Amino acid sequence: MSREPAGAGSRTGGWREGDQPGRRRFLDLDGPVRLERGGELPAVRIAYETWGTLAPGGGNAVLVEHALTGDSHVVGDAGPGHPTPGWWPSLVGPGAPLDTGELFVVCANVLGGCQGTTGPSSTAPDGAPWGSRFPELTIGDQVAVEAALADALGIGRWQAVLGGSMGGMRALEWAVSRPDRVERLFFLASAAVAGADQIGTQTTQQAAVRSDPAWAGGDYPPGAGPVAGLGVARRIAHLSYRSATELEARFGARVQDDGRFAVASYLEHHATKLAARFDAGSYVLLTEAMNTLDVGRGRGGVEAALDRVTARAVVAGIDSDRLYPLAQQQQVADGLGVPLQVISSPYGHDGFLLETDAVGTLVRELLAA
């Protein structure tokens, strides 16, 4: 199957059937896969990557959960099948905090994503992309599919489940919904329940995508898509990912030689990069799932849900995070009866990706406990 190169001007990106698999491996789940909001999928394909060797009995397995626009490629170079290098490279490898000399590390592309796991750009049974017909998802649905992957790999209990941002939501859902399968939990820069600020920010991003005429109700053809709308959404999101202090220090009101504000050029750069590697339908679907986040739904509230967790836990936040401020991590820390670990960073929410020394220290402490 042919496709336009990354960066082509009239499409949104994402891995598709027929592309180079890279390091991805695949698991096909026979359906129907029933979803919390009443929908179902006739089958699901999961794309995942692993590092290290699984011990007999699976006791050395660790699950890493990626954030909204991440994927299974935690560590490794960009290349065929992988448009970007690994997003947490210093955390995984020989001698790293997640030491692949001892641990078997797994990361799966999330259900609804666009890097090999079934999502809106995947082919439906009728041969056309799912598009607008793709059913609504919850964080719980995504974890249920990950649990099926764990079963297939022979992993009954994770030595640790780790994640930041949207990945932290899934990590916490694992610990709440399947406490017997999670020995340790690392919850970073995330929340137990979506707040008005996150919902407002994300619905505004969704409106930007949907306002692009190329959105076509979510049924844009392969090879095309609402790149302009996705670009606006990414600009909005990126402002919430970084801190005002950092942006002021880096850019201020400086104007470039081409007449653009430097900060506007920076945001455009990130918008273009995302549109070349990510599908707009997945962006809308996944932010909708994040907006429904409530680990206490159907469990008697957040406090009661957190009481279910038996894992040793580290809960951490970034002091300059304006997307998921520290109060939201403090709620989880209090519910789990552990201290909140605060990472100091000028980078805002993206500190969970950039402050790898501080994050790695906390991961090592958790695994040593």
Kindly report, residue by residue over 250-266, the tens digit of the pLDDT: 999 999 999 999 999 99
Cis (ω within 30 of 0) for the bond into 125? no
Task: Identify whether residues 75 and 108 lie together within a single domain.
Answer: yes
Residues known to be catalytic: 165, 321, 349
Domain range for residue 92?
A: 25-193+295-368
**pLDDT tens for residues 274-308?**
999 999 999 999 999 999 999 999 999 999 999 99
CATH code: domain of residue 310: 3.40.50.1820
Q: How confident is the model over 67-94, as a mean pLDDT?
A: 95
What secondary structure does DSSP assign to 301-358, as a single string? SHHHHHHT--SEEEEEEETT-SSS-HHHHHHHHHHHT-PEEEE--SSGGGHHHH-HHH
Sequence-distant (6+) residues with CB within 8 A of 348 are: 240, 241, 242, 243, 246, 318, 320, 321, 322, 323
Task: Identify whether residues 285 and 326 lie together within a single domain.
Answer: no
Helix (H, G, I), strand (E, B) or coil at 154: coil
Sequence-distant (6+) residues with CB within 8 A of 48 are: 24, 25, 26, 27, 72, 106, 107, 108, 109, 149
CATH code: domain of residue 217: 1.10.1740.110
pLDDT for 64 beyond 70: yes
**pLDDT tens for residues 264-275?**
999 999 999 999
* Cβ 105 vs Cβ 120: under 8 Å: no
- Please report whether residue 207 resides in a domain: yes
Q: What strands, in cross-sheet order, belong to the sheet with 61-65?
A: 25-34, 40-51, 104-108, 61-65, 160-164, 184-188, 312-318, 340-343
| pTM, two decimal places | 0.95
Q: What is the pLDDT of residue 6?
A: 33
pLDDT for 15 beyond 70: yes
- State both tokens at 50: 């692993």
Point out which residues pair with 34 in neighbouring strands: 40
pLDDT for 2 beyond 80: no
Q: Provide the CB-side half-sphere exposure for 320 (13 A, CA).
A: 18
Task: Identify whether residues 158 and 209 lie together within a single domain.
Answer: no
**pLDDT tens for residues 188-236?**
999 999 999 999 999 999 999 999 999 999 999 876 789 999 999 999 9
Of the pLDDT bands very low, low, confident and very high (cuts 50, 70, 90), residue 31 is confident
Which residue, of 274, 289, 304, is where some domain finishes? 289
Backbone angles phi, psi at 62, to 5 degrees: -130, 135
Task: Identify whether residues 344 and 320 lie together within a single domain.
Answer: yes
**pLDDT tens for residues 138-161?**
999 999 999 999 999 999 999 999
Please count the structural domains in the chain.
2
Of the pLDDT bands very low, low, confident and very high (cuts 50, 70, 90), residue 12 is low
Task: Identify whether residues 178 and 236 lie together within a single domain.
Answer: no
pLDDT for 4 beyond 60: no
pLDDT for 316 beyond 60: yes
Which residue, of 289, 315, 336, is where some domain finishes? 289
